[in-house]
Structure 1
Amino acid sequence: MWTIRTSRVARASIPRKSAPQTGCRRNFLNGADARLTKPLLVSFNQSTVSVYWVAMGVALIAFVLTLFFRTPPLRQKSALQESADAERQPEPIALG
């Protein structure tokens, strides 16, 4: 009971804040005249489409560049096998 009561008191003491105003209100588009909304919708569409065209261009350039990359040859042995082979080889004897 004590924890429930304290949580209610704590919750009541915290001031409630309204949602932050982002400045992006498009509610006026719902009831506005088509002559007013068309330029906004067209400009929004054009800006969005231009972003996608630029992204597609970048992706195509990246794809063409990958065609010119050489792939490194695959290993013939695993890393564990290579380390085991290196341990089996005798160490050179230093003369001197």
Structure 2
Amino acid sequence: MDHRRRPDEQTDAEAASALAALKQVTLTLSFDPGDPDSIEAALRELDARIDAAVAPFRGHPFVEAVANQIKDECRERVLQQIATGAAAGSGRKLC
């Protein structure tokens, strides 16, 4: 019996592993909501942490699309919370 995985099974397993890695990412960002440079640094950290979680799966189109979607959603959530004043104080879990 041949126990090797078909390419599509391996791809599915990689995607599942990447999604599991992304679920483990908890982001607590510290920044000054009144300082654009501080906000941008926090958003770069957000991107870097998500990129690090999926680094072993780089090049997998589904994984990269999901990671980019999560980054976009988190970035939007952070900016929304800043706009509404919900991000006052540092070190809050924002996404």
TM-score between both structures, scaled by the size of structure 2: 0.30
Question: Which gives a bigger RCO, structure 1 or 2 (Cα 8 Å, sep 6+)?
Answer: 2
Say which structure is richer in strand.
2
- The higher radius of gyration belongs to 1
